[in-house]
Amino acid sequence: MVKCRDVMEVMERMAPKRLAEAWDNPGLLVGSPEDEVRRIFVCLDVREQMVERAQREGFQMIVAHHPVIFRGLKKLRTDLPDGRLLGALLRANIAVFAAHTNLDCAEGGVNDVLAARIGLVPETVAPLGAETLSESLGRVGKLSRSMDAREFALQVKKRLGAATVRFVSGGNHPVEKIGLCSGSGAEFIERAAFLGCDAFVTGDVRYHDAQRAAALGIHVIDAGHFATEQPVVEIVAMRLTEEFSGKVEIVADDTARDFFETVSEA
């Protein structure tokens, strides 16, 4: 019999909690370590439709990247979105575990998956801001060949399945050395430029982040928060399947879509 604590132990090896940022809230957020688990649903966000699917298809546990409880709760009103979501989870006895910035930092985690997906050569990938791969929120690495910056932006778009990407030109130079940080990593643009990166890939880039990048002479590809993180869902599901082969059924979400849509004329 597999219990929540068994899944928690596997996730701790995959993404040690000590790697999480101080402001983060990873770990078991709903349920008990002693809850029995037969089916696990892996997803990026714990959305209402995910909980409805978990109820409908008999999942006892959700493993997500983003914490379903992030800041301190002062009330649990089921007529409001957060309370309604948590109430549904509790009524259905569905446990929720989150691996957030610890999974971003971990070797083989979100950033390494992103680096591989957009075409960085594995042997060249190194930490962006720390001495070891297991303690860095970002990565730096090289492409197999130098290419035009806009060509690379299109490659990122295609390989991440993003509806659109935003491009900030850092000049006329091609790209080969790439910095990246999944999710929201514009704070590392200067670090990437200091390390000699030709381009930086991330999401949630603001106007003044773009302005700073242009002044530093580094291209920026904003592929969005969702597209830069969603690829890890399949990888986490694969690892859990390897760990619990034949004991627990693991299903990776393949229905989630970015909250942002591109609106254009027909």
Provide the residue ranges of all domains of the chain, joining segments of one domain with +.
4-103+229-252, 107-222
Question: Nearest Cα to 110, choosing from 217, 118, 82?
Answer: 118
Q: What is the pTM of this model?
A: 0.95
Question: Nearest Cα to 198, choosing from 140, 156, 157, 144?
Answer: 140
**8: helix, strand or coil:** helix
Identity of residue 132? T
d(CA 139, CA 197): 11
φ, ψ at 23 (rounded to 5°): -85, -5
Neighbours of 251 (CB within 10 A): 17
In the prediction, which pLDDT does 72 show?
85
**142: helix, strand or coil:** strand
Radius of gyration of the chain (CA): 19
Q: What CATH superfamily is the domain 107-222?
A: NIF3 (NGG1p interacting factor 3)-like (3.40.1390.30)
pLDDT digits (tens, 9 = 90+) for 119-146: 999 999 999 975 554 467 899 999 999 9
- Please check whether residue 20 is in contact with residue 101, taking contact to mean a CB–CB distance below 8 angstroms: yes
**19: helix, strand or coil:** helix
Band the pLDDT of 71: cuts 50, 70, 90: confident
- CA terminus-to-terminus distance, the chain: 54
pLDDT digits (tens, 9 = 90+) for 149-172: 999 999 999 999 999 999 999 999
Same fold, 4-103+229-252 and 107-222: yes
Contacts of 79 (CB under 8 A, 6+ apart): none
Neighbours of 234 (CB within 10 A): 14
Q: Which CATH class is domain 4-103+229-252?
A: alpha beta
